[in-house]
Structure 1
C-alpha cells in the first residue's frame, strides 16, 4: 500500500507537467466531440481519455509496480481541476511572460527530444508551430494556476522536529519506512580543445565572403543549406521565429532584434561557433530571421595535446600533488562548474544528488562502480554547441540503497513529512470547496467510491 500512496503523491505534484508529454493527436475541440466527458468541475472538464492516459503514466513511472483504478485516477484529476477552478475564482495572478517562458522551454525540450520542431509538430498532429504553442499555452496556464493556488493554501504550513519524529515513527510502526535509492554526488574537470586563431580567422573570412554574395543577390537560404553546420537547416533553411523569451542563446536574440528587415549581419560569435544572420520580417514582438552557423575545426594535434594534459592532471591528483578542487580552479574550462569545485548539478532536480538508478545511461556506465574519492578514466566528449573536450569525473559522495534512517536521512524525511502535511491541508480545503463548486459526474463515474464527497451525497 505504501508504494501506491507514494506514487499518487508524486503524480499529484507533477500531474500537469506530465500532460506536456501526452498531448492528443487531435485538437481539444475535436476531442470533446468524439470523447466522453467524465466530469465537469466549474468550467473545467475531465475526459475519459485523460483518465486512461494518466493511468498509463502512473504505471510507466512506477515501472509496473503500481496499478490504479479509473476511479482513483479520476479523483486525482478532479482535485487538480478543483484547484484550477478556484485559482480563477480567487483571481490568482498569472503573467503572460511566465507562461510564454514555460511554453518556449517546452518547445525547446521537445525539439531536443525529436530533433526538430517540424518533427514535434508531426508527432503530435498539430498544423504548425503556432498551433502547438497555443495548446501548450493552455496547458501551462493551468499548470501555473494549480501551483499558485496550492502555494496559497499551504504557504503557512511547516513541520517541527517533533512532527518529523512522529511521522517517522508512524511509518516505522506500520512497517512502511521508505527505501531510498543509491545516490551519488559527482564533480568534473573539463579541458576544452580550442581551435587555432588561424582557423577562427578562416571561418570569419568565409562568412564575410558569403555576406557579400548575399548582399549582391545570392539566396541566403541556399547559402545556408550549402554552408551551415546547424542541423536544422535541412528542414527550415536556417530560418527561425525569435522572441525575447525564446530559448535561443543571448547573442542570437540580440542580433535578431538589432537588424533591419533584409539586413545581413556581420559575422558574430557564440558558444556554438560563428554566425551570419539575415532578418526577413518583423511581426510585433517576433522576428523572423535566418542564420548560417560555421564551427571551426579542431586539429587532431590539439585533441591529443588536450588528452595528454587531462591525463597528467588526473595523475597529479591521484599522487597527491594537487587536490581535485585546486585542479578544478586552476585547469577546468567549464564555466558552469569551475567555481563550485566542479560539482555537477542534476538537470532534472537542480540538486547535486543523482539517483543512481535514474541516470543517463552513458554517465551511469562511467561512474556506477566508483567508490567515494575515485576518478573515472579520461574520456572524450562533445556538447550541443560542438565544443570538443576531454574530461574526467570524481565520485565526491555515495550513499547506497537503504531503508530510511531518521538521523542519516533527516532532511528527506522532513520533506516527506511536510509534503504529507501540505497534502492533508489541500485535502481539507478540497472537502470544503466541493460543497460550493458546480460538479457534474457522468452516470458511469457516479458508481465510483471516492475519498471525498464529489457526488455531494447527503450523509444518512
Structure 2
C-alpha cells in the first residue's frame, strides 16, 4: 500500500450523508466520498506513465486509505485547521490559472466547468484534502527511521525490482540578471506615476491593472489579492501595503519582480486585501549585452585559473538557491543528480557535447520569469545504470524508508477501520484488498 494524494475529480462537489450511495459514488469513508471518476483518473494516469500494474482495485484501495487519512485528520486536534486560509487562497489560484487563457470561458470549457463558482469549489476541495491527507500521513510516520543495515537488507531483497537510473548529470550555474540603467528605471517609474495620477483623476485601479499589470496572478482580477497573510508577499510589498490607509495608493516601489504601485483595500486582523500594478523590469538589448560581456569575462577568468567556479558563483550569481552551494543545481529528490531527459530544452542544448569538468558557452535563459545570462559547468556525467548500494545509497535509502512508512500506514489503516463508517459500492465486493475493506464496510 502506498500513500497517495488523491487526484480529486473536477466534478467532486457532491455532499452525502452516512448511508447514502448515489450514482457515481463508489465509496464513503466517514463523511468523505470516493467518486468512480476519481478511480478512473488514477488508473488512466498510471497507464499514461507506463505502469505495469493498473488493477482498478489497487487504485480504489489507495484512494480509500487517503480518504481515511483525510477524515481522521479533520478530527485530529494536533493538526491545525487551515481550511479557511486554504479556501481564501482559492481565488488567487483561480486567477493564476485564468491568466494562462485568453478568456474565462475558454478556461472553464478547457477544464469542463459550467461556472467559476464550480471551479473554485473544486480547487478549494483539492487543496483542503491534500493538506489534511499529507498532515495526517506526516504525523503517523513522523518517528519512522531506518538504519544502514535495513537499507542493505532492502536492497538485497528488492534490487532486481528497483528502477533503472537513466543518464544523469551534475550541473552548476552562475546566473546574472541584466541590470537596468538609471534612465531605464526612471522610465518605468514615470509610467507608474502616470497610471497612479490617472486613477486619482477618476479612472479605476481595477481597469488600469487589467490593461497594464505584468502580474499573471492578479491582472485579470484587477490586481487584487485577498486574505493575504503576513509573510506571504515579498517584504517591500507587505511593508508598503501595511503602511497605507485603506484606499490609499503608494508611490512606485521596487521589488525583485519589478516596480509596483500598491493600494490597500482592507485590513482585518492579521489578514489584508491589496491591489497592485506590476511593471516588470525587462532589460533592453544594451543592458543584456553588458551582462553578457561581464559573464564572458567571468568565464575567461575561470578558464585561466584566476578564480574558481565556486568562488565566481558566490561572488556574482543572482540565484539565491545555488550561489551559496558552489552553484550546484539541486534535483527534485534533494540530490545533485538530474536526469538528462528531464532537463529544460535550453539547458539540454547548451550541455550537449560538453565534457565532464568543462564550461558551457554563455547563454540566455529565464529564471523566475526574468531574463537571465547564464554560465554552466558540467561537474559529472553518470551513464544509465541499475541502482547500486555502493554508489546510490541515498536513493536506495529513500525507497526503503518509503516502504517502511507505508507499512506503518497500512497498520494504522487496519487499526482505524473499526470505528469508521465505510460503505462500498457492490461493484468492488470481489476486490482482493490488502486491508479487509469489504469486511469493515457496508456493501451496497
SS in 2 for 1:408: coil
What TM-score, normalized by structure 2, do the two folds share? 0.83
Q: Does 1:75 align with 2:65?
A: no
- Measure, in 1, the Cα distance between the counterparts of 2:216 and 2:427: 50
CA distance in 2 between counterparts of 1:298 and 1:99 reads: 37
Alpha-carbon displacement from aligned partner over 1:319-349 (angstroms, at most 9, x marks no partner): 3332111222233233333222222234x44
Q: CA deviation at 1:197?
A: 0.9
1:99–1:141 contact (8 Å) kept in structure 2 = no
In the alignment, does 2:197 pair up with 1:212? yes
Give, in whole Å, the separation in 1 of the partners of 2:345 and 2:168.
Answer: 15
Selected match of 1:136 from 123, 145, 152: 123
Q: Distance in 2 between matches of 1:139 and 1:233?
A: 21
Match of 2:157 in 1: 170
Distance 1:170 1:218, change over 3 A: closer
CA separation of 1:247 and 1:419: change in aligned 2, threshold 3 A: same
Which of 13, 35, 42 is the aligned partner of 2:30? 42
| 2:420 counterpart residue number | 437
8 Å CA contact 1:185–1:395 kept in 2: the answer is: yes
Q: Would the aligned equivalents of 1:104 and 1:246 in 2 still touch at CA under 8 Å?
A: no
2:395 is paired with a residue whose SS is helix
Off by >6 Å, runs of 4+ in structure 1? none
Deviation, structure 1 residue 410: 1.4
Query: Match for 1:15 among 5, 17, 23?
Result: 5
Query: Counterpart in 2 of 1:6?
Result: none
Cα distance per residue 1:299-325 (max 9 Å; x no partner): 433322221222222132223332111
Where does residue 291 of structure 2 map in the other structure? 306
Is this contact kept in 2: 1:273–1:293, CA < 8 A? Answer: yes
Matching residue within 143, 148, 157 for 1:156? 143
Structure 1 residue runs of 5 or longer lacking an equivalent are 1-8
> What TM-score results when the alignment is normalised by the length of structure 1?
0.81
1:453 corresponds to 2:436:
yes
Following superposition, the deviation at residue 408 of structure 1 comes to 1.0
CA distance in structure 1 between the partners assigned to 2:406 and 2:258 by the alignment: 49
Q: Alignment partner for residue 254 of structure 2, among 255, 259, 269?
A: 269
Quick check: 1:374 aligned with 2:362?
A: no
Pairwise CA distance, 1:375:
1.8
Greater shift in the superposed pair: 38-47 or 234-243: 234-243
| Cα pair distance change 1:101/1:378, threshold 3 Å | farther
- How far did residue 407 of structure 1 move? 1.3
For the 8 Å contact 2:314–2:323, the answer to whether it is kept is yes
**How far does residue 246 in structure 1 lie from its aligned partner after superposition?**
8.8
Residue 161 of structure 1: how far off its partner (Å): 2.2
Equivalent positions of 1:9-408 (< 5 A) are 12-16=2-6, 19=7, 23-25=9-11, 27-29=13-15, 35-60=23-48, 62=49, 64-88=50-74, 90-96=76-82, 100=86, 107=93, 111=97, 114=100, 118=104, 123-124=110-111, 125=113, 127-128=115-116, 132-172=119-159, 175-224=160-209, 227-230=212-215, 235-241=220-226, 243-244=228-229, 248-280=233-265, 287-296=272-281, 298-346=283-331, 348-349=332-333, 351-367=335-351, 369-384=353-368, 387-408=370-391
Q: Kindly indicate whether the alpha-carbon contact (under 8 Å) linking 1:356 and 1:368 is maintained by their aligned counterparts in 2.
A: no
1:135 Cα deviation from its structure 2 partner = 3.5
Residue 51 of structure 1 and its aligned partner are, at CA, apart by: 0.9
CA deviation after TM superposition for structure 1 residue 76, in Å: 1.4
Paired with 1:322 and 1:225, the residues of 2 have a C-alpha distance of: 47
Separation (CA, whole Å) in 1 of partners of 2:318 and 2:382: 29
Which one is further off, 278-287 or 401-410? 278-287
| Distance (Å, rounded) in 1 between the aligned partners of 2:407 and 2:238 | 45
* Distance in structure 2 (CA, Å) of the matches to 1:325 and 1:383: 20
Which deviates further from its counterpart, 370-379 or 294-303? 294-303
Q: Secondary structure of the residue that 1:343 maps to in structure 2?
A: coil
Aligned positions of 1:407-446 closer than 5 A: 407-446=390-429
3-state secondary structure, aligned to 2:439 = coil
2:259 is paired with a residue whose SS is: strand
Taking the aligned partners of 1:357 and 1:297, their CA distance within structure 2 comes to 31
Aligned equivalents of 2:323, 2:440: Cα separation in 1: 61
- C-alpha distance after superposition, 1:115-145 (max 9, x if no partner): 689565664427447x655433433333333
Deviates more, 1:416-425 or 1:86-95: 86-95
**Alpha-carbon distance in 2 for matches of 1:391, 1:374:** 15
1:215, 1:66 → 2: CA distance? 63
- Identify if the C-alpha distance between structure 1 residues 414 and 213 changes in structure 2 by more than 3 Å, giving closer, same or farther: closer
266-275 or 333-342, larger mean C-alpha shift:
333-342
